[in-house]
Chain A
Amino acid sequence: DTAVSQTPKYLVTQMGNDKSIKCEQNLGHDTMYWYKQDSKKFLKIMFSYNNKELIINETVPNRFSPKSPDKAHLNLHINSLELGDSAVYFCASSQDDSGNTIYFGEGSWLTVV
């Protein structure tokens, strides 16, 4: 009964491939996020959706395309993977986008070789 769950947990893939990470939250939250944590542990927001609507899109390459079919799900598709995309991708959610607690998923470890 994990609150924010994402799959897969580990993903090793070759450069140039396309991959997706899925995320679901069962907290009834309105807002969902994707964060990227690089090898130096820096946590940076990539996207934020509120009630299925994109509200934050940080200067992320357009190879990254989020999709929110409903407010409980936020998926991340990455095209033409590059070595620099290797990182941990965290999905997260919050009650709304008004500065409430953000709950993170377990993370998806992506390694591009």
Chain B
Amino acid sequence: GENVEQHPSTLSVQEGDSAVIKCTYSDSASNYFPWYKQELGKRPQLIIDIRSNVGEKKDQRIAVTLNKTAKHFSLHITETQPEDSAVYFCAASLGYGGATNKLIFGTGTLLAVQP
């Protein structure tokens, strides 16, 4: 089955710096890659996602890149702010219906943005 690895497990940056979180996946058939942000005591919430037919997607200060050949994808946050502090999860799935389709999450990255 699919396995998603995520690094680093913790990341501390100064306000205004960039943060990069990387994930690798094992199933080459996976084609849907969302990123979730979970603030302390809250639910995970989708912040950006990418499908395998594109290599990069951007939404304001957040961008995601996908390298299907190497089976890895990354989250980039620019101009970080204290409110970006949270746990970030990457995930991968096959993106089509059936018993084999399930969203597998990475182990999470605790991002701390120091003011």
Bound Cα distance from A101 to B45, whole angstroms: 10
* Closest Cβ neighbor of A30 among chain B residues: B97
Given contacts A43-B89, A101-B34, A107-B43, contact A96 B103 (CB under 8 A): no
Q: Is B78 an interface residue (CB 8 A)?
A: no
| Minimum CB–CB distance for A50 against chain B, Å | 7
Chain A binding surface, main DSSP class: loop
Among B44, B97, B107, contact of A90 (Cβ-Cβ < 8 Å):
B44
Given contacts A42-B107, A42-B108, A43-B89, contact A97 B46 (CB under 8 A): no
Interface residues of B, count at CB 8 A: 26
Chain A residues in 8 Å Cβ range of B108:
41-43
Given contacts A44-B105, A99-B31, contact A56 B97 (CB under 8 A): no
Bound Cα distance from A45 to B45, whole angstroms: 16
Contact mask B75-106 → A, CB, 8 Å, 1/0? 00000000000010100011111110111110
The answer to whether B105 touches A43 (Cβ under 8 A) is: yes
Bound Cα distance from A101 to B93, whole angstroms: 11
Among A42, A50, A58, A102, contact of B97 (Cβ-Cβ < 8 Å):
A50
Chain B residues in 8 Å Cβ range of A85:
none
The answer to whether B102 touches A43 (Cβ under 8 A) is: no
Contact mask A39-51 → B, CB, 8 Å, 1/0? 0111111001010
Interface residues of B (CB under 8 A from A): 31-32, 34, 38, 42-46, 49, 87, 89, 93-99, 101-105, 107-108
What are 5 A-B pairs at a CB distance below 8 A? A43-B44, A48-B102, A99-B103, A102-B46, A107-B42
